[in-house]
Amino acid sequence: MPIQRRSFLAGTAAAATLASAPAIHAASKNKQYRTALIGAGWWGMNILREAMAGGQTKVVALCDVDSDRLEINAEEVTDLSGDTPRIYRDYRELFEKEDVEIAIIATPDHWHALNALAAIQAGAHVFIEKPTGHTIGESQAVLAASQAADRLVQVGLHRRIGPHHVSGMKFLKDGGAGDIGLVRMFVHSRGGAEKPTRNSEPPENLDWDMYCGPAPLRPYCRRIHPGGFRHFLDFANGTLGDWGVHWLDQMLWWSDQQSPDSVHSTGGRPIAGQAVLNDEEQTTDAPDHQTATYEFDSFTATWEHRKFAGQGPEQTSIGCYFFGTQGTFHIGWRDGWTFYPADSKKQVIHQDAELQEPDGHNLKLLYADFLRAIETGSRPVADITVGHQATTLALLGMLSMKLGRSVRWDAGAQQIVGDDEANGMLRRKYRQPWSYPEIG
């Protein structure tokens, strides 16, 4: 919907507040939550738009290390709501100055834990993007802090609540596929060799030192920001740490949150090529393909991704197959869910996806569930325990791949069994002056 306006200030930073900007509100309930967004990029704005459209959100502040993104997105918030959010480069200053009831966190992964801990400490409930940590110790700290402070944390696992996921899970749990012995989780795409991107001075609008934060300060290149951090292991954990968290979570949901006894993963960059990082140029360094095996008591789950060859002969390039005695159940993204009976005389059963476009998510439902949980004091559908577990499994896969051997996981103790070197990898060294979050 175009926004009609007759007021204009040349060259001002944030957009002028305009009385004529139509506020977009759903049927408004009384309670308006003072909301701040940390990490005002593409996905963060997707969440914030849904929060605003839900009608119980007053956006008080946006925070980002990129002043251009802040400016553009503050303008959009004003256009959509009439509110003029204050803008911050440093989340610590934001929590110092603002009274925030809800913090939405959509920064690159290596910032998730520090941002969430600051929000919890400031008394806010948190909507945090997955994964809940860049290393397992960070996620553990967020879990512990939220429980100690009695703050709700909803993790952005919108596939927990998307209609076809809910109905598909009911089909599975009702025994539609019979007894499941193997779950295969996968994401495949096209791709080839990766050419290095030239390093350059960070753009004037970007606080690169703050972007890197607790991660090593590496040379800037435009492949990293905006939006490219996921395949740089300093900042994220590649496809397994991104898509993998969603599909691991589907498997965990079906299994009633069981824990694997052991995890083993391998992967590499035979197609993308050796990772490059020098003064001149750099490439990403996440694996171009990876497989991981999660051994549970009564079933096995595998992860597989590759960023080459495309969909190939299979019917789908993304999702989970649940292989059971009655047949194969596929839960996917845009392709909904499909059950292929083992008895070929039986009918294939299918349900379409119901998604919000353009980005194909179900954030509206997830955010509404979050607010409902805050109002009723109940647990949100993708709360921190759920998010932490899916994150942990993804990060154990990354850890095993880097370590070059399998690990045994004690979920109760939140530790790897009998492997000091592996346990050392549950945390990472932070760059000064940042300190790794401690529990308690």
Q: What is the 3-state secondary structure (H, E, C) of 171-188?
A: HHHCCCCCCEEEEEEEEE
Q: CA separation (Å) from 206 to 201, 211, 283?
A: 10, 8, 20
Q: Rounded CA gap, 306 and 91, in Å?
A: 35
Q: Are 134 and 212 in contact (CB under 8 A)?
A: no
Helix (H, G, I), strand (E, B) or coil at 105: strand
- Structure token pair of residue 353: 């996806």
E strand map for 39-139 = 57-63, 86-88, 102-105, 125-128
Q: In angstroms, give the least distance from the CB of 18 to other proteins.
A: 9
- The least distance separating other proteins from the CB of residue 35, rounded to whole angstroms, comes to 20
Both structure tokens of 434? 């940042």
Over the window 129 to 158, marking each residue x when it contacts other proteins by CB under 8 A and - when it does not, the resulting string is ------------------------------
Q: Does 72 bind other proteins (CB under 8 A)?
A: yes
Residue 270 CB, shortest distance to other proteins, in Å, is: 21
Query: Are the C-beta atoms of residues 267 and 296 closer than 8 Å to each other?
Result: no
Question: Which stretch of DSSP H or E encloses residue 159?
Answer: none
Residues 6+ apart with CB under 8 A from 116: 103, 105, 126, 128, 132, 142, 145, 146, 153
> Exactly one of 35, 61, 65, 69 binds other proteins (CB under 8 A); which one?
69
361 binds other proteins (CB under 8 A): no
Report if residue 1 touches other proteins, rule: CB under 8 A.
Answer: yes
User: Rule CB under 8 A: which of 248-287 touch other proteins?
Assistant: 281
Report residue 395 as tokens. Answer: 């990060």
64 in contact with other proteins (CB under 8 A): no
Choice from 2, 312, 404, 412 touching other proteins (CB under 8 A): 2
Q: Is 195 helix (H, G, I), strand (E, B) or coil?
A: coil
Candidate list 313, 358, 433, 440; residue touching other proteins; CB under 8 A: 358
State the amino acid at position 324 in one-letter form.
G
CB of 206 to other proteins, least distance (A): 11
Judged by CB under 8 A, the residue of 29, 31, 198, 405 near other proteins is 198
Omega within 30 of 0 (cis) for the link into 108: no
Choice between 2 and 377, CB closer to other proteins: 2
Torsion of CA 85, 88, 89, 91, to 10 degrees: -110
Query: In this structure, is the dihedral angle defined by the CA atoms of residues 139, 431, 439 and 90, taken in order, positive or negative?
Result: negative
Among 226, 262, 271, 408, binds other proteins (CB under 8 A): 226
The count of chain residues that interact with other proteins, using the rule CB under 8 A, is 32
| Residue 249 Cβ vs other proteins, minimum distance, rounded to whole Å | 24
In the list 92, 195, 350, 372, the residue contacting other proteins (rule: CB under 8 A) is 195
Q: Which stretch binds other proteins (CB under 8 A): 134-142, 145-153, 189-197, 247-255?
A: 189-197
Interface with other proteins (CB under 8 A), residue from 17, 42, 92, 418: 42
Alpha-carbon distance of 18 to 192, in angstroms, equals 48
Q: Are 218 and 284 in contact (CB under 8 A)?
A: no
Full 3-state SS string of 54-79? CCCEEEEEEECCEHHHHHHHHHHHHH
Nearest C-alpha neighbor of 158 from the set 14, 295, 51:
51
Restricting to residues 76-105, which ones interact with other proteins according to CB under 8 A? 76, 79
203 binds other proteins (CB under 8 A): yes
Nearer CB in complex with other proteins: 31/195? 195
Judged by CB under 8 A, which stretch of 90-98, 223-231, 293-301, 401-409 contacts other proteins? 223-231
Minimum distance of other proteins from residue 245's CB (angstroms): 21
Is residue 216 a contact point for other proteins (CB under 8 A)? no
Task: Using the minimum distance from each CB to other proteins, give the nearer residue, 42 or 216.
Answer: 42
Q: Which is nearer to other proteins, 232 or 370 (CB)?
A: 232
222 counts as binding other proteins under rule CB under 8 A: yes
Contact with other proteins (CB under 8 A) among 68, 99, 280, 375: 68
Binding status of residue 192 toward other proteins by CB under 8 A = no
Is 190 an interacting residue with respect to other proteins (CB under 8 A)?
no
User: Residue 373 in 3-state DSSP?
Assistant: helix
> Residue 11, interface with other proteins (CB under 8 A)?
yes
What's the CA gap between 64 and 59, in Å, rounded? 14
User: Closer CB to other proteins, residue 1 or residue 27?
Assistant: 1
Q: Quick check: 325 binds other proteins (CB under 8 A)?
A: no
Cα separation, 302 vs 56, in Å, equals 40
**Cβ–Cβ under 8 Å, residues 92 and 117:** no
**Binding of residue 53 to other proteins (CB under 8 A):** no
- Radius of gyration from C-alpha coordinates of the chain: 22
- Which residues in this chain contact other proteins in the complex, by CB under 8 A? 1-8, 10-13, 42, 45, 68-69, 71-72, 76, 79, 195-198, 200, 203, 222-223, 226-227, 281, 358
